[in-house]
Amino acid sequence: GVKPSMLLGSVIAGTSNVMNKSSVKISDPWIEPSNVYLLTTAPSGSGKSPAGRFGTGPITKIQQRLTVDSGKHSVVDRATAERLLFNPEQRVVQNSTAEGLFSTLLYGHGNILCYVDEFKGFYDKQVVKNDMTAQFCSLYSGETMNDTRRSAGSQTVYDSRLTIFGNCQPGHLVEILRAEDYMGLMFRFLIFPSSDDRQDLNEQMKDLKVDEKFSMDEYYEYILSQSQEPTIYVFDEEAKDQIVAIKKELDENAEGQIDWKRGL
């Protein structure tokens, strides 16, 4: 059994990846890129890894299919990509180095799901040790990202999409929040606390009234087919009202969140 919140996080992460370079329009002129940063928090042995594979595994299958279908698929600077033994159809990376992640965005289609099974180690190495806070903030917003420290010289990624989906033990998350500077990287993460009870996956699908023939593979393939060109998705009125209400509450409590963090 796994916790429903863990499954929800992994599916949101996978969905954001197959949306390619699409965006979500909440209201005029409020438009957000489709990528997200997410963390699920739970102690060891609580099923974080199986839940993560539920949402990310089908993306790996799509990656394999596209690699086979593309053949000699043309990308910018293909010769360099081949020299680096890089797969231009790469969609999922795990615990990547900073330079490896940048190369994947630079030579691929620009939408990457970085799945991190133990987020604390990734954060300590990539964010703290390699000082990548500003770069990850830029990638979250789909902004231009420059890397001047690369062995190949200064290079730039334009209009990128990076989704980070990580698992983190609660105590480790507290350590990260205590140390976080005020560039606000961690405030960009949706955090799924796993306080709910573990449930059998099939029982959860029944509770959600999901058809028995439902396939995550087909779900992702359908969204991918609708997002071959950059698309702006629009919320229905009920969802829009909920999003606006949440944003208003977050804005009103923003100062309280900073005070809470200082008091950890």
Task: Pick the more confident residue, 84 or 244.
Answer: 244
Question: For position 70, what pLDDT does the model report?
Answer: 60
Q: What is the C-alpha separation between 108 and 136, in angstroms, rounded?
A: 18
Is a pLDDT exceeding 80 seen at residue 259? Answer: no
- The arithmetic mean of pLDDT across residues 152-179, rounded, is 83
Q: What is the pLDDT of residue 230?
A: 85
Question: What's the angle, vertex CA 218, arms to CA 213 and CA 223, rounded to 5?
Answer: 135
Measured CA to CA, the distance from residue 168 to residue 161 in angstroms comes to 22
User: Is a pLDDT exceeding 90 seen at residue 37?
Assistant: yes
Instruction: Spell out a b/e string for 154-169, using b for 16 or more CB atoms within 10 Å of the CB, else e.
Output: eeebeebbbbbbbbbb
Compute the distance between CA of residue 164 and CA of residue 131 in angstroms, rounded to an integer: 17
Please state, for a pLDDT cut of 70, what percent of the chain lies above it: 72
For residues 225 and 254, the model is more confident at 225
* 151 class by beta-carbon count within 10 Å (0-12 exposed, 13-18 middle, 19+ buried): exposed
pLDDT band at 86; cut points 50, 70, 90: low
pLDDT at res. 205: 52
**60-69, 117-126, 191-200, range with the lowest pLDDT:** 191-200
Sort residue 29 into left (φ over 0), alpha (ψ -120 to 50) or beta.
Answer: alpha
HSE, side-chain direction, 13 A CA sphere, residue 26:
14
Q: What is the pLDDT of residues 119-150, one digit of tens each?
A: 999 899 888 888 888 888 888 887 777 765 55
Q: What is the mean pLDDT of residues 192-203?
A: 60
Question: Is the predicted pLDDT of residue 249 greater than 60, yes or no?
Answer: yes
Q: What is the pLDDT of residues 199-238, one digit of tens each?
A: 555 555 555 555 555 688 888 888 888 888 888 988 888 8
Contacts 24+ apart (CB under 8 A), 147-150: 147/99, 147/102, 149/99, 150/99, 150/102
